[in-house]
Structure 1
Amino acid sequence: MKVLIVDDDPSFLELSKTFLEVFHDIPSDTVDSAKEALKMLETDSYDVIVSDYDMPVMNGIMFLRTIRDKRIDIPFILFTGFGEELMHQAIQNGANSFILKTSDPKTQYSELSKRIWQVVNSSTTIDPNSGS
C-alpha cells in the first residue's frame, strides 16, 4: 500500500509521514500542494490520497473535484482542521472519508491509519481471473 499526503504545512507533512510509516507501517509520499499532487498522480500509483483542505491556490475540495473530473478513482480522505460543515461538501464531491485534525497526534494518526485501511479494503477491484 502507498499513500499520497497533501498539505501545505511542511512540519505537518513530516509528522504525518513519520507516524504513518513508523507506527502504522504505511508507506507514504508527501507534497505541499494540490498542483504538485496532480503531477505525482501522472507518474506514480497510490492506494489512497490524504489531503488537507486549507491550502493556497487549490483547496482540498477543489483538488478532489479535479481528480474526480479526471476520472481518477483513488480513495480520498480529507484530513483537516476545519469543522464538520466541510464533511458534507467533501462527501458530496466524492471523498471516501473525512477526519478532523486534533491536538492529540497519537489518537489522530491511529484514526487516520484505521481509515486508510478501511477505504483501501472497501474499494473493490474486479479480478479479471474470477469466474465469468
Structure 2
Amino acid sequence: MRILVVDDDLLAGEMIAAILQEDGHEILLASDAMDAMTQVDHHEDIAVIVSDMHMPLIDGIELYRTLQEQGIHLPFILLTGNAPEFIDAEKIGLTACLMKDADMDVTLRDAISSILNH
C-alpha cells in the first residue's frame, strides 16, 4: 500500500516512513501541506495519508479539510505531540489522531491495520 507521510521535520518523517516500510508499505514523503497536495495530485494510488499536526502555514487539520473540499476522501491519520483527546477526530472526520510518543510505532501500525481490514 502506498502511504503519504507529511511532516515538516525531515527526521520525524523518515522515522515514520521507516516504521511503515518495515510492514512492506511504499512511502512518499512530503515536507509540508503544499507538497502533500502536489503528491496527491501526481500519485493516484495513495491509499492513506499520515500527517503531522503542527506545520508552518497549513497545519494537518487544515490539510485534511482542504483535501476533503477538493473531493479527496482518503483515510487520514493525524499525528500530534499534544494530547490527542483535545482533538475530536471523529467529529472532524479523521480516521485517527495519534500521539507522537514512544508507543507510536504500535499505535500507527494498529491504525494502518484497521484501515486495511475495512
TM-score, normalised via structure 1 length = 0.82
Matched, 1:85 2:97: no
Q: Cα–Cα, structure 1 residues 63 and 43, in superposed 2: closer, same or farther, change >3 Å?
A: same
| Paired amino acid for 1:19 | I
Aligned residue in 1 for 2:116: 120
Residues in 1 aligned to 2:95 and 2:116: alpha-carbon distance in whole angstroms: 10
SS of equivalent to 2:28:
strand
Matched, 1:38 2:34: no
Count of aligned positions: 116
| Paired amino acid for 2:4 | L
Structure number with the higher strand fraction is: 2
| Paired amino acid for 1:68 | Q
SS of equivalent to 2:46:
coil
SS of equivalent to 1:58:
coil
Matched, 1:27 2:26: yes
**1:18 CA displacement:** 1.3
Greater C-alpha Rg: 1
| Paired amino acid for 1:119 | I
Q: CA RMSD in A?
A: 1.2
Unaligned runs of 5+ in 1: 123-132
**1:120 CA displacement:** 3.4
**1:92 CA displacement:** 2.2
Indicate if the aligned counterparts of 1:3 and 1:27 stay in contact, CA closer than 8 A. Answer: yes
Residues in 2 aligned to 1:49 and 1:66: alpha-carbon distance in whole angstroms: 13
**1:116 CA displacement:** 1.0
Q: Cα–Cα, structure 1 residues 120 and 71, in superposed 2: closer, same or farther, change >3 Å?
A: farther
Indicate if the aligned counterparts of 1:52 and 1:78 stay in contact, CA closer than 8 A. Answer: yes
Aligned residue in 2 for 1:67: 67
SS of equivalent to 1:47:
strand
Unaligned runs of 5+ in 2: none
Aligned residue in 2 for 1:94: 93
**1:110 CA displacement:** 2.1
